[in-house]
Structure 1
């Protein structure tokens, strides 16, 4: 992914994130859902970078990084839906203002509501409800359902780690061996996620990597919240099977 103009070479900010990005914008403006989804997915790391920069310079330490990330992702989705490539502007410039604005707006709203459960807790509760619904359905092999629950818990631990990236290829300085192991494991899991079918991949990326709740994912993908929950559970089952098939994966599911 290219760096924004403030952090990289002058030409880096104008280079497209995707080789076929101009064609994707044309398709998205014609109502192409697949093109829209690809554009959003491609710019999720850009949101993380901007959210991390704002989090690093924060004055109010009451909010978590995950909340900055969630607000920024919602701003990205709105930017993709409103961007007009025919105006001649670069999308990163257009989206950057809206992502930062969405984070600032979210901070202002959340600072008045700290009595509610924080973002991490809300997402964990939502995942638990989704997994419990799958078990309550009592379809298929019970052992496999329990294994999928274990994958969900592990995936949350591995991908939903509160590590702040100050730019896209940075990691928090830590000399402990456990941090190295976790970084390697996270990379393996992200590779498995990248091989999921489109809808399953998008739900996992939105929810685990960018902290977006199921209700917002449902609105973004034009689905019901219940359908997003089903896709989430299917994704966990696929990840479990993929992880078992990869001998290099060190985890026991």
Structure 2
């Protein structure tokens, strides 16, 4: 759309009388600044409360559980801090108290998610370690089971069953604990050469059994596969157990000879 028609409208226009023009006092040049968001600078608040996050993380780690590293609790607290900063304007002067509750709650929730023991077991574990600390401080050396049982007011058997085994299960990364030379990671499966040798011997044995006379092959089959005793085999063949023993011995001799040639 062209602006020429609009210019023609104001061609004969006259200035307005001075009495009709309002007087606006000049207070300085107009400037523009970024509006301050409610709750202040988020980054400044985060930097301000970082020490609080670490302090609460160490407190939770020391007083409640060691199944989660303190640095992991710090990371959880940082996430909770960033989320809580958005509520700073609404909380006003109560923000610090609100933040403490938020941080501690987030860390405890994480501990509960990763807990592998019951609350009772966690309580017994705390009592157990507290008793060790107390007795060590008083005696100057680590206490024995009898002293610990007396301190906790339980029997030695209950101490072993409910207190000493109350530690939580801790899961470690396989990459951190695995090593080829550790015995519990060793594989007892025969290597390829052993498997090949066993396969050759098995094939030789199968062929040798197949070459036995029918009665000798049947005795081997009934004795080793069907797991019949000599008397039961005799009943199948219609002979006495002594005769069965002779047949089995003859079969063994032929099989040993065939395997000796292979070895």
- Is the shorter-chain TM-score for this pair beyond 0.5, marking a shared fold? no
Q: Whose Rg is larger?
A: 2
Give the TM-score normalised by structure 1.
0.30
User: Looking at both structures, which has the greater relative contact order when contacts are Cα pairs under 8 Å and sequence separation is at least 6?
Assistant: 1
